[in-house]
Amino acid sequence: MLKEIVSDAEHKMKRTVEVFERDLTGMRAGRAHPALLEKVPVEYYGSITPLQHLATISAPEPRVLVVQPFDKTAANAIEKGIQKADLGVSVRVDGQILRVNVPPLTEERRRDLVKQLKRQLEEQRVAIRNIRREAVEQLRAHQKDHQISEDEERRGQTDVQKLTDKYIKALDEVAEAREHDIMMP
């Protein structure tokens, strides 16, 4: 009972860190990264489709992304979708592929991105704390129903707190590394 609650909490906390890392790959930093364009909505045959479903995206150079549509007729729709997304990039159709130039970030834009990063970090910290709260509530409920002893409840709370500290530290490390990437010219 105790182990299941703690392992469930750990699994949820680990997933929270993984989702945070994945979300940050789409945040623009000093270099071009394919994740910048993956979620760009493109109107394709009357429906909105994420760009990653319509083309392959690669980064052959630090400031250039290359988009190769699966369907060559989708190039214009993809170009419009990228321009509508207002990412601060320029798009050029080069035959059957699109070249997306990612200009260097200004100092002001870097600071804005760091603020956005800090906001997302705090949201994920709250998510971790909510997972801790849920696990502690489960432990208390089981102790109240006499399914576990008070000592087991305290031990479980200690274990959950250690997990919380561990995963909040992991979030901080991920955010610190990303902030360093953003602030590097």
How far apart, in whole angstroms, are the C-alpha atoms of residue 11 and residue 56? Answer: 32
Q: Which helix (H) or strand (E) holds 76?
A: helix 75-84
Please state the length of the chain. Answer: 185
pLDDT band at 106 (very low <50, low <70, confident <90, very high): confident
97 with 122, same domain: the answer is no
Q: What is the pLDDT confidence band of residue 28, given thresholds at 50, 70 and 90?
A: low
In sign, the C-alpha dihedral spanning 106, 184, 168, 13 is positive
Q: Are residues 21 and 110 in the same domain?
A: yes
| Structural domains counted in the chain | 2
Identity of residue 120: Q
Same structural domain for residues 117 and 57? no
pLDDT tens figures, 64-96: 899 999 988 888 888 888 888 877 788 888 888
Q: Do residues 111 and 176 share a domain?
A: yes
Average pLDDT over residues 99-107: 83
Place of tokens 């369907």: 71
Q: What 8-state DSSP symbol labels residue 52?
A: G
pTM: 0.72
pLDDT value for 35: 80
Q: Does residue 156 register a pLDDT over 90?
A: yes
| Residue 174 and residue 129 share a domain | yes
The two three-digit tokens of residue 1, written as one number = 């009972």
